[in-house]
Chains A and B, each alone.
Chain A
Amino acid sequence: MKITAAEALVRCLENEQVEVVFGYPGGAILPVYDMLYDSGMRHVLARHEQGAVHAADGYARVSGRVGVCMATSGPGATNLVTGIANAYMDSVPMVLFTGQVPTTMVGTDSFQEVDITGISMPVTKHNYLIKEARQLPQIIKNAFHIASTGRPGPVLIDIPKDVAESEIYFEYPSQVKLWGYSPTYRGHPQKINEAVSAIQQSKRPVIYAGGGILNSGALEDLRNFAEIINAPVTNTFMGLSSFSGSHPLYLGMLGLHGSRYANRAISECDLLIALGARFDDRVTGKIAEFAPHAKVIHADIDPAEIGKNVLVDIPIVGDVKRILRAFNARLEPRENKEWVETVQQWKKDYPVTYKQDDNMLKPQYVIEKIYEHTGGNATIATDVGQHQMWVAQFYSFNRPRGLVSSGGLGCMGFGLPSAMGAQIGIPGEQVALVTSEGSFQMTMQEMATIVEQNLPVKIFILNNDSLGMVRQLQEVYCNKRYMATNLKFVPDFEVFARAYGVSAFSASSNEEVDKVVPEAFNTPGPVVVNCKVHQDENVTPMVLAGKGISNAIDV
C-alpha cells in the first residue's frame, strides 16, 4: 500500500524510537504536521523556532539521544540556524526537518523560500534536500546514523511540500547506505602501546578531558584511568560533569577562566593526556605557552581535531571509551606521589574563591547555595556570560551530563529553551536554569512552553542590570568605557513570571538567598527567582588575550 512521504516520515521517526519532536508549524511543513495529528507522537510547540532547536539540543545533551526538531520553510528554517550552529560546535546529535516550497518553485524566490541546505552547509555535519519522495526513508535512516555516530552533530533534511505529499511504497530500510562515511572507533594498537609507555615513563602527567568523555559514555573508564595512574584530571567546559567534582584528583576547569591550579598543572606537566577535547583557544590561551614541557597524547574520534591547533606526539583516532579501556588493561598502577602532592598543595594555595560583601549579594553565593541544596546532583542549564563561568567554577557536578550549556558557540538565549528540552529528556529529575537578565531576555518567550508543558524548571536570574561579561571586557580592555552594556531598563521578572502564572521569588542578600533557594526547589512547577547581584563582580582569574594560561590575573 502506498502512503505519502509525510506519513512515511512519521513512520521513520517511530522506527528510530523518537519520543518527542520539538517544532513550530507552517505552510510548507503542513503535510508533515497533518500526519503528526494522527500519530500520537509527542510534539512540543515552542514559541519561536530558535526555542525549538535549543530545546531539542538540551534534550539530546541530557539524554544522549538524537534531538528532533521541525520547522517550516523560509523564516522557520533561518530561525533554526543559530541553534544548528550551536549543536554543531558542541557536537550534539540532532536531526532537523524543514519544509521547503514545492520543487517546481524552488529557485524562483517564491514566498517563504530560502536555500536552507546552502545556508546550513557550514554548520551541519551533513544535510539533504529530498528531491524524490522515494529517497526519504533511506535519507532519514542515514541522517540518524550520521547524527549519532562518530563525532555527533546536527543533520538537516529539507523536504519540498510536493515531495511530502507524493505517495511511495514504504519500508523502513534496515541498513544505512553511505559510501565514504565510516568513523574509526578502535584506536590504533601501536599508538596505544606508545601512549602506554609514555604514561609509564611520565612523572608529572595531567589528564585533560573534554566533552568526548560524555559523548562516548567513558566516565567510569576515565575515573579508573585517573586512579590507576594517579594523574590529576582537569575538564574543559564541555567536559564538566564527566569527572566527579568531589574526587581528590579533580582540578576543575582549565583555560581562560580556569582554576589557577589546573592551569599551573598544565604548564608544569611532562605529559598531557588529551581525551575527547579539541584544544580550543579558550583552553589554550597563547599556544606556545600551553603545556610547554609536555609530551602530548591526543585521543579523539575526529581525526581533523588532532594536530589542528597544537602539535601532537602520540595521536590516537578512535572512541575514547575504547581507548581508555585499552589503556587500563595495559597499565601498571602508578603513584606519582610527589606530583600529586604538589598539585594538592596548589589547590590549597590558589583556591577558586570570591570575596563576600555584607552590603551586597554576590552572584557566586547564589550558585554555591544551589550547589549545596542539590548536592551537585541537579542538571544545570545556563546561558552565556559571567554566570556561566561562575557555574563552571562554583557548581561541582556529580551528575553525568549535568551541565547543559553553549560552549563552542557561546550562544546567549540558549538557557531557557535548553532547560525546557532537558527537563523533557529527564522527567522527574531536578533541572535548574542559571541565567542572567541579559541572556534570559533573548528567549524568554519560551516561558509559555514551560508552562504549557508543565515543566518544573527552577530558574535563577542573576540580575546585575548589565551585560556582565562584555562589561568586564570593557573594564579590562576599554578603560571602563561601558558602551551598550548597562541595561537602563530591565523588566520586573516577578511580574513577568506571574503573567505566566509562575511562582516567583526575589533575593538581594545572602539571608534571602538562604531562604529562597530551598523554597524555590520545594515549590512544585516552574519557579522564577530574581537575584539582584553586585554589578561590579568579575569572573576571576582571567587570562588576558594573547597571554599564556599560567599568566592569569585577578580582575
Chain B
Amino acid sequence: MRHTLAVLVENNPGVLARVSSLFSRRGYNIDSLAVGRTDDPAVSRMTIVVEGDARVLEQVNKQLHKLVDIIKISDITADEFVDRELVLIKVNADPSIRGEVMQIADVFRARIVDLGQNTITLECTGNGGKVNAFEEAVKPYCIKELVRTGKIAMWRGAKYTGFPGSSNKTNKEDE
C-alpha cells in the first residue's frame, strides 16, 4: 500500500541528504518527495510517498525517527486528507489549435500561464489522478516539456500535524 508521510524536520544543512540516503541504504522506495519550509523558518516539512506493507512502514517510521534532525512524523494516509500536485506543461500549439487546447484546460480547470509563438504553457493542480489525466489529455498536442512537483498533503478537518515547542525547546533526559 502507498502511504503519505508528513515529516517535520529541523531546517539544518544536509537534512534532505540524511533522509534520502536513509531510504536508499535501507532499500525503501520513495514514490515522491516534496520539501519546503513551514510557517516557522527553522522547520521544514517533507511529504514523502512510500510504498510498502505495514511492517515496512513501521520500519520506515522508526528509522526516520532515529535521525536526530527529525521532529515529527505523521502518516497522513491514516485519516481523511487532501493532497495536491502541480504540473507545468508546455505543448505545441500554433494559433490554429490554441482554442482546442484551451478547451481541454478549461475541463481540468488548468490555467494558461504563458504563450509562445507556437507553444502554450499550462498549469494544473489536483491530486495525482487528475494531474495524470490532464497529462494524457494534452499528450496529442506534443508535450515539449513537463515538470511536476511531488505530492503535498494535509489532513482534513480540525486535525493537524503540528510540532511541539520552538527550536529553543530544551530536552531533558527522562530521569
Contact = CB atoms under 8 A, between A and B. Distances in A.
A126 B65 contact: no
B117 interface: no
A303 B58 CA distance: 10
Interface stretch (B27-35, B106-114, B128-136, B166-174): B166-174
A185 B174 contact: yes
B14 A117 contact: yes
Contact of A186 (B65, B70, B170, B174): B174
B66 A149 contact: no
Nearest to B62: A304
Contacts of A179: 10, 71, 163, 165, 167, 169, 171
Interface string B1-25: 0000000111001100110010001
Interface string A166-183: 000000000111111111
A307 B58 contact: yes
B59 to A, nearest CB: 6
Contacts of B171: 175-179, 181-182
B170 A304 contact: no
B174 A182 contact: yes
B55 interface: yes
B62 A180 contact: no
The size bracket of the interface on A is: 20 to 34
Interface in B128-175: 163, 165, 167-175
A183 B65 CA distance: 10
B123 interface: no
Nearest to A181: B68
A183 B10 CA distance: 17
Given A175-B170, A185-B173, A304-B63, A180 B10 contact: yes
A293 interface: no
A125 B68 contact: yes
9 contacts: A122-B21, A125-B68, A126-B68, A175-B171, A177-B167, A178-B68, A182-B171, A185-B175, A302-B66
Contacts, number: 70
Interface of B: 8-10, 13-14, 17-18, 21, 25, 55, 58-59, 62-63, 65-72, 163, 165, 167-175
A121 interface: yes
Contacts of B68: 125-126, 146, 178, 180-181
Contacts of B163: 179
Central interface residue in A181, A182, A307, by most chain B CB within 10 Å: A181
Contacts of A302: 66
Contacts of A186: 174
A454 B100 CA distance: 88
Contacts of B170: 175-177
Interface string A195-218: 000000000000000000000000
A175 B14 CA distance: 24
